[in-house]
Structures are given as structure tokens and as C-alpha cells.
Chains A and B, each alone.
Chain A
Amino acid sequence: MQFDRSTYRISDAGTGIRNWLLIAGVGLIASAAGAFVDPKQFFFSYLTAFAFWCTLALGGLIFVILHHLFGSTWSVVIRRMSETTMRTMPLFAVLVIPILIGIPWLYHWADPSYVAGDYALPKKAGYLNVPFFVIRTVFYFAVWVTLSILLYRASLKQDESYTRENAKYMRTLSAPAAILYAVTITLASFDWLMSLDAHWFSTIYGLWFFSGAVTAFFAYTTTNVVFLFRHNILKEDLTPEHFHDIGKLLFAFMIFWAYMALSQFLLIWYANFPKETVFYLARWSGSWRALTLSIPIIGFAVPFVILIMRITKRNLNLLAGMAWLLLGMHYVDLYWNIMPNLHTETVVVSWMDVATMLFIGALFRWYYLRLFTQHAVVPVNDPKLGASFSFVNQ
């Protein structure tokens, strides 16, 4: 990859990006084979992988929205990276189709005979039915894809020439976008993940999903900085001051995520209602218990102690180590939420978990890199770009 620092463009993207398509192809073949061997396992694995990668795009979307709303300076250098992450949304609008096909295997509320014999589900059928579920999912993606395309297009327009109207447009769009985002991501988490067990409910579930998404996004951004440095891109421009701020947000959102997860658990534990405790009891049996314990310890306590130190946030290698750990734990967290609905007794790791992760992950990475290498790697005409380069933490 060749980087031209005078225009902040990648002059030669190289051929390496295409290899991701190859990996995605292998993942696709393996996943397709899995869909024939054991469709139920396939759809659960696919849902986990889909949720993992889609949350990165969702995290990117809210970060761009917040960046415009707050008019922050330091984050201008990572704005294009975030926008590219956000702009992968159309990919997920396509990748969600297998989940819609898999509704009969994934969601027990889609089975009329099961619902008819149940005490609660007939009353929920007005919301939890297949046509409405499909309409909602289409609506979420209509909102997310539209927002990401509009914001990305306006940003590219700024690369050609800066106008106040355009900058104001991005900010004005971001305000209603934030509200739409909050509603859609909450309902999406209810639909896709919480309704896997349609009896159980938790009103904080949307915030848990959102906070995990943003944590994963900052972790992904950190690994992207490492990637850029390996290719000598922005090496003179991104400084420990920027790592420090990415690290602070990673740290903060990790705490926010833990806070949400604990809030959900604490109230259910305290009230001790069987209809609510089933969620945690199911995750306390067999080897699920070890996974349950690993989430607060490896996903929160260990990175908390390490990330609270200033030196971790200012050292890219240490920060990247934490980022990879938190990305891994984000997957474990989603897996822990989804899979006990399939493997109720004990953890069963399937090769389809790997295959679907490879497929969606490689496709996502290919899409991201292709988009990223086509345009300037920073918003070159943003008036705050210079201040962002020379930004210093106090």
C-alpha cells in the first residue's frame, strides 16, 4: 500500500485487499455446507457472527453522529476511518437476509403450534410475528443505510470543497439521526437477540447492546490505527495524544457496558422472579458457568486495571492488545447471549461459528478496505484538521 502524504490519499492500494474476498469465499462455502448439515446450528452461528460485525458498523454510525453534534477537534483525524466503518452498513442490509430466512429455526415465537400451546406468547403475537419482524428489520436498515450514505456523501463532498452549508447539513442531520438511532438499535436488539427467548424480557437490553457495540467499535478503530502504521499511513500525524483519546473512550465505554450488564443482572438477582431469573439460570449450568464468569473478569476487571493507567492508553501496542481482548470478549458476550438458546446444557463450539465469522468478517474487511483506500484517509478540507493533528491532551 502506497500512501501519498501531500494529498492524504492512498496512491496504490495493492492487490492484498482482494485476498479478503478469497477468505470470504472459503467462509461462504463452509457456511453453506453447514446450512445443509445442521441448519439450526448454522443460523445461530450466523446470527452471532452477524451481530458481532454489524455492531462495529453501528458503533461507527453513532460515533460519526456524535462527532458532528459535539464538533470535537481531536477526532477529526479518525473521522474518515469511522465513516468508512459506518458506510459498511449496506453490506449488512444484504447479510441480514439469511437471518430473515432462518426465522423458523431461530425464533420459537414463529412456530404457530408452539405459540398456541403457550401461556404468554399468544398475547405477544401482535408484535412478535414474522411479517412485522421482517418489516421492522427492513425499517432499521432503511434508517441506518440512509443515514450512513447521506453522512458519508456529505463528507466526500467536503473533500472537494469546504462549504459552511455542507458542514451545517452534517450537523443538522446528526441531531434527528441520534434519536432515530437510539430507537432503532434498541428495537433491533429486542428483535434479533432478546426475542430468541420470547418469554424473557429486560428493558435495559438495548443499552447493553449499544454499549457493547460502541466498545467494539473503539477496539476496532485501535486495531485499524495499528494497521495504518504498518503500512506507513498517517504515521507522522497520529500521535500518542490521539491513542490516548481513543483509549479513554474505549475505557469509558467498556465501563458503560459493564455498568449496563451489571444493572440488568443486579435487579434480576435481587427481585428473584422466576420469569426473569431463567436467563441467568440457563447460563449457570454446565460449562456455561465458566463462560458467565469469564465475562466480568476478562471482559471488565482485567482490562479495567490495565486501561486505567495512562501508559496503556499512550502506548499503541499495549492499547491494541487491550483492543483485541475487548473485541474477543465482545464476541463472547454476544455468544453468551445467543447460544444458550440452542445449546441449553453446556457450551458446544461448532465449526460453523468459525465459518460464519470468517465469511462475514472477511467480507466486512474487504468492503471496509476497498472503500477506505478509494478516498482520502482524513477529511482533508475540514477546517479543524490542522488543530486535530497538533492536538495535545491536558
Chain B
Amino acid sequence: MEATERTTYGILAQFDGPDKLIEAAAKMRDKGFKQWDVHSPYPIHGMDGAMGEERSRLGLMVAAMALLGGLGILYFTYWTSAVDYRFIISGKPYFSYIAYIPIFFAVCVLLSAFTAVFGMLGLVNSKFHHPVFYSDNFAKVTDDGFFVSVLAEDPSFDKVQTKTFLEEIGGTNVEYLEGDD
């Protein structure tokens, strides 16, 4: 089999514990990288700030969808029982909005949950594969490994300089993420 030119998709560097990872993340942020991420066995408090993450828009999306769903179901219950198929139930008015409060609430919760899950999947730019899986060392991330990965798509990515930078900020086992798929 003929050896082919392997593409470099990014660089992976390992760090020594959560505190070092936070420091490294802050330096990465200050350097102005865009297409990069940190990987750790568990969530680290303060990482969002160190990475310079902005507040998620998910809350607003959930609130808007909950309101929309609630108003929608309120209209629907009104239409079914007061317009389309009028029916007197236990002597109450056709449009007995009090009876619809549980439905209103349930639909608000339902749409909130859907928006939270699918909105999150949309916002995090999820993918089925990530270049970090080319690294064998990366398996440690589920045990005791703390990593920073930079993707080659990053505008300030440079194969040599980025590698040097990662070593400067304390990264060990710095390796190129290469594959031939």
C-alpha cells in the first residue's frame, strides 16, 4: 500500500490537572483562538469564564417557545370547546379558561423541554466525529486526562507556531491530530 499524505486536522495538548487547564484556557482565549475546545473528565467550575464563553441564548429561546406554545394551546382549547364543538360541561361556560391552566402549563413545559434539548444540540454545533479521536492519548479524557484541542480551521492556526505556543503554556504530549479518512 502506498503511503499517502496525512492531513493535519488540529493539535492536541495535555495539561496537568484542572487548575492548569483553566490557566491554559485563559491564555488560549487571550491569544484569540476561535476553533478550539477543552476536554476534561468532569465539569470544571469557572471554565466558562476562562474560555471567554458568552451567556447562552438558550434561556431566551426556551422562554419564547414556552410562551408561544402556551398561547397556541390556549387558542386551541378555546377553538375546540367554544367555537368548533360547543359542549356544556358541568354547567360551566364554553370557554372555561380555568380548566385549561393545567394544559397551558403542560404545553409550556413540553415546549420548554424540547427547545432546551434540540436548541442545545443546535447551538453546540454537534457532530458525529471530531479530530481528537485520532489521538490514542485522548482516551485518558474519561479517566484523568485534561486536554486542549485546536482545530486547523482556526484562522490563527499555524502548524509550527501553535504547537510551540501550546508547549509554552504548559502543554505536554503535544501532538498533531492526523488521519487519512
Known: A308-B63, A394-B43. A270 touches B48 (CB 8 A): no
A-B contact count (CB 8 A): 19
Instruction: Give chain B interface residues in 42-77, CB to chain A under 8 Å.
Output: 43, 45-46, 48, 59, 63
Q: Does B102 contact A (CB under 8 A)?
A: yes
| Residues of A with C-beta under 8 A to B90 | 270, 272
A310 — which chain B residues lie within 8 A by C-beta? Answer: 59
Total contacting residues, chain B, CB less than 8 A:
13
Residues of chain A within 8 A (CB-CB) of B48 are: 394
Contact with B along A371-394 (1 / 0, CB 8 A): 000000000000000000000101
A266 touches B43 (CB 8 A): no
In Å, the complex CA distance between A269 and B93 comes to: 12
State A392–B102 Cα separation when bound (angstroms): 35
CB within 8 Å for A266 and B91 given contacts A308-B63, A392-B45: no
Interface residues of A in 262-292 (CB under 8 A from B): 262, 265-266, 269-270, 272
- Across the interface, A266 reaches (CB within 8 A) one of B45, B63, B92, B102, namely B102
Proximity bits, A336-369, B CB within 8 Å = 1, else 0: 0000000000000000000000000000000000
**Interface presence of B88 (CB below 8 A):** no
Inter-subunit contact B45/A394 (CB<8 Å): yes
Smallest distance from the beta carbon of A326 to chain B beta carbons, Å?
Answer: 21
Closest A residue to B90 by beta carbon equals A272
Q: What residue in chain A is nearest B59 (Cβ atoms)? A: A310
CB nearest to A271 among chain B residues? B90
Contact with B along A305-325 (1 / 0, CB 8 A): 000101000000000000000
Question: Are A269 and B45 in contact (CB-based, < 8 A)?
Answer: no
Q: Which of A270, A308, A392, A394 contacts B99 (CB 8 A)?
A: A270
Is B139's CB within 8 Å of the partner chain A?
no
Q: For the complex, is B1 an interface residue (Cβ under 8 Å from A)?
A: no
**Which residue from chain B places its CB closest to the CB of A310 in the assembled complex?**
B59
B101 at the interface (CB under 8 A from A): yes
Q: Does B124 contact A (CB under 8 A)?
A: no
The residues of A that contact B63 with a CB separation of less than 8 Å are 308
Chain A residues with Cβ below 8 Å from B92 are: 272
- Chain A's closest residue to B89 (CB) is A270
- A 147-199 contacts with B by CB, 8 A: none
The residue from A266, A308, A394 contacting B98, defined by CB atoms under 8 A apart: A266
C-alpha spacing A308/B59, complex, angstroms:
10
Q: Is the CB of A272 within 8 A of B45?
A: no
A122 to B92, alpha carbons, bound, how many Å?
35
A residues sitting closer than 8 Å to B (CB atoms) are 262, 265-266, 269-270, 272, 308, 310, 392, 394
Q: List 16 A-B contacts (CB under 8 A).
A: A266-B98, A266-B99, A266-B101, A266-B102, A269-B98, A270-B90, A270-B99, A272-B90, A272-B91, A272-B92, A308-B63, A392-B45, A392-B46, A394-B43, A394-B45, A394-B48
